[in-house]
Amino acid sequence: MASSLTKDAARQGDPANGGKTFFGHPRGLATLFMTEMWERFSFYGMRALLVLYLISGGGDAKPGAQGGGLAMTMATASAIYAVYMAMVYLLAMPGGWFGDRVWGPRKTVAIAASIIMLGHLTLAVPGQAMFFVGLVLVALGSGLLKSNISTMVGHLYDGPADPRRDGGFTIFYMGINIGGFAAPLVIGTIGQQVNWHLGFAVAAVGMGLGLVQFLIGTRHLSPRSSVVPTPLEAAERASWLRKGLMWAAIAAVFYGVVVATGHFTLNWALIPITLLGLIIPITVLTRIKRDKDLSEHEQTKVSGYIWFFVAAAAFWMIFDQAGSTLNGFAEKNTADTVFGLSFPSTWFQSVNPLWVMALAPVFAWMWMALARRAKEPSTTVKFATAMLLIGASYFVFIVPMQMSGDGTKVSPMWLISVYMIQTMGELCLSPVGLSVTTKLAPQKYASQMLGVWFLAVTAGDCVVSMLSIAGADLSGVGVLAAEAGLAVLAGLAIWLNRRKIVGLMGDVR
Residues 6+ apart with CB under 8 A from 381: 495, 498
Alpha carbon distance 288, 195 (integer Å): 46
Per the structure, the count of domains in the chain is: 1
Residues 6+ apart with CB under 8 A from 274: 83, 86, 462, 465, 466, 469
Q: What pLDDT score was predicted for residue 2?
A: 27
Axis crossing angle, helix 74-90 with helix 325-333, rounded to the nearest 10? 140
H helices of 156-266, in order, are 165-183, 189-193, 196-217, 234-260
Alpha carbon distance 454, 312 (integer Å): 9
What's the count of helices (H) and strands (E) in the chain, helices before strands? 18, 2
User: Is 102 part of any domain?
Assistant: yes
The residue type of 100 is: D
Q: What pLDDT score was predicted for residue 446?
A: 63
User: Is 363 part of any domain?
Assistant: yes
Alpha carbon distance 93, 280 (integer Å): 10
Phi-psi region of 147 (alpha: psi -120 to 50; beta: other; left: phi over 0): alpha
User: Is 16 part of any domain?
Assistant: no
Are 484 and 395 spatial neighbours (Cβ–Cβ below 8 Å)?
yes
Alpha carbon distance 87, 32 (integer Å): 23
- The secondary structure of residue 188, as a DSSP letter, is I
Are 93 and 455 spatial neighbours (Cβ–Cβ below 8 Å)?
yes
User: Is 253 part of any domain?
Assistant: no
User: Is 428 part of any domain?
Assistant: yes
CA proximity to 349, closest of 48, 15, 18: 48
Domain span including residue 311: 28-223+260-504
Task: Return the CATH number at 406.
Answer: 1.20.1250.20
Note the Cα 36 to chain centre separation in Å: 12
Positions in the chain short of pLDDT 70:
1-21, 23, 159-161, 163, 166, 446-448, 506-509
- Return phi, psi of residue 342, to 5°: -95, 155
User: Is 2 part of any domain?
Assistant: no
Alpha carbon distance 441, 335 (integer Å): 46
SS3 269: helix
User: Is 3 part of any domain?
Assistant: no
CA proximity to 89, closest of 314, 270, 280: 280
Are 326 and 351 spatial neighbours (Cβ–Cβ below 8 Å)?
no
- The secondary structure of residue 334, as a DSSP letter, is B
Q: What pLDDT score was predicted for residue 172?
A: 80
Q: What pLDDT score was predicted for residue 499?
A: 86
Q: For 65-113, what is each residue's pLDDT tens digit? A: 888 899 999 999 999 999 999 998 888 878 888 888 888 889 999 999 9
Residues making up the chain, counted from first to last: 509
User: Is 8 part of any domain?
Assistant: no
H helices of 404-474, in order, are 412-440, 447-469
- Return phi, psi of residue 410, to 5°: -90, 165
Are 412 and 458 spatial neighbours (Cβ–Cβ below 8 Å)?
no
Tell me the three-class secondary structure of 234-251, residue by residue: HHHHHHHHHHHHHHHHHH
DSSP string, 464-502: HHHHHHTT--TTSHHHHHHHHHHHHHHHHHHHHTHHHHH
CA distances from 305 to 297, 302, 377, 438, 453 (A): 13, 5, 17, 11, 9
N-term to C-term CA, the chain: 20
Note the Cα 168 to chain centre separation in Å: 18
